Amino acid sequence: AAAGVGRGKLPPKASAGREAADKAATPFLILSAEVFNALLAACLEDVPAALSAILVAPAAEAAGAKGAKRGGKPRADESGPMPDPSASPRWSKLSPTVLSFCRHLVDLCAKSTAPDVSLAVLASLKASLPFVRVFPKLR
């Protein structure tokens, strides 16, 4: 485990009820702000790119789109229609995960009070627009 990340028990000062609630929520406990920030930054930067590689590139190749000629990576400055990840053959399997990511991203954006975190979340939201737009009733 990385420094600051523990698996299992909470610090001794935590109550038994809190420990049971935290274990039910997640098997990991992040004890360090630096580790949390690094984990959040990695998720905000890497998840949209990974989802694009998994969902958008195969759909573009299957449709014979011009994006497939460049390796299937959509570019931010590219004019034209926004890629549709729901056209991917993998969409049915990954849509619950994508929905969860999008919900948490919007929730983080709404609850963030730190300007630097808000800026990072908004930048990630911009990169995630092809996935967010698939869920019109996202809240």
Q: How much is the pLDDT for 120?
A: 83
Cα–Cα distance, 115 to 7 (Å, whole number):
30
Burial of 50 (C-beta count, 10 Å sphere; 0-12/13-18/19+): exposed
- Encode pLDDT of 58-90 as tens digits: 666 666 654 444 444 544 445 567 788 988 899
Question: What Å distances lie between residue 13 and 22, 26, 30, 77, 93, CA to CA?
Answer: 14, 19, 16, 52, 42
Higher-pLDDT residue of 106 and 69 is: 106
Residue 85: how many CA atoms within 13 Å on its side-chain side?
Answer: 29
Higher-pLDDT residue of 64 and 125 is: 125
Q: How much is the pLDDT for 100?
A: 92
Percent of the chain with pLDDT over 90: 14
Which residue is listed with tokens 């992040």? 30
User: What mean pLDDT do residues 101-125 have?
Assistant: 86
> How many residues would you count in the chain?
139
Look over the chain and give the mean of its residue pLDDT values, rounded to a whole number: 74
Q: Return the bridge partners of 5, or none.
A: 30
Q: How much is the pLDDT for 139?
A: 62
User: What is the value of pTM for the model shown?
Assistant: 0.64
Q: How much is the pLDDT for 116?
A: 84
Cα–Cα distance, 128 to 52 (Å, whole number):
9
- Encode pLDDT of 29-64 as tens digits: 888 889 988 888 888 889 988 998 998 876 666 666
